[in-house]
């Protein structure tokens, strides 16, 4: 979880299961390490759970919040309290 990669084909971000185009320009960009728990959750696409109060986050066995700093070899444990699903924000 320390680095995220983006795969670009012809200057467009693509998923790893995208079909390759013959002669395409392929680039892999490495991201920087996540600095906080909140940044890690956003990178995983779980930001909708940050404000709902149901997501319980532990870092190395201790309760953590979105602004808790991360270090190398940290372990994040995620669980959900029972309750309604979060509402999705529509663009």
For 8-38, write each residue's pLDDT tens digit: 899 888 887 888 889 999 988 877 888 999 8
* Residue (of 46, 63, 50, 56) closest to 81 by Cα position: 56
Structural domain count of the chain: 2
Residues 40 and 68 in one domain: yes
Note the pLDDT of residue 90.
Answer: 58
Q: 32-90 pLDDT, tens per residue?
A: 888 999 888 888 878 777 776 778 899 999 999 889 999 989 999 988 877 666 565 55
Please tell me whether residues 69 and 42 are part of one structural domain: yes
63 and 28, same structural domain? Answer: no
Residue 25 domain flag: yes
Residue 91 pLDDT greater than 80, yes or no: no
* CATH code assigned at 68: 3.10.20.30
Q: Is the pTM of this model over 0.85?
A: no
Question: Domain residues for 74?
Answer: 36-83
- Tell whether 27 and 42 lie within a shared domain: no
Q: In three state form, how does the secondary structure of the chain look?
A: CCCCEEEEECCEEECCCCCCCCCCCEEEEECCCCCEHHHHHHHCCCHHHCCCCCEEEEECCEECCCCCECCCCCCEEEEECCCCCCCCCCC
Rounded CA-CA distance 12/14 in Å is 6
């Amino acid at each position: 979880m320390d680095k995220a990669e983006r795969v670009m084909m012809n200057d467009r971000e693509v998923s790893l299961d995208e079909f390759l185009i013959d002669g395409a320009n392929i680039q892999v960009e490495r991201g920087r390490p996540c600095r906080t728990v909140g940044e890690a959750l956003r990178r995983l696409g779980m930001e909708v759970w940050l404000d709902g109060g149901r997501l319980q986050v532990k870092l190395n066995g201790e309760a953590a919040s979105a602004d808790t700093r991360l270090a190398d070899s940290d372990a994040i444990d995620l669980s959900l309290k029972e309750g309604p699903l979060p509402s999705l924000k529509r663009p």
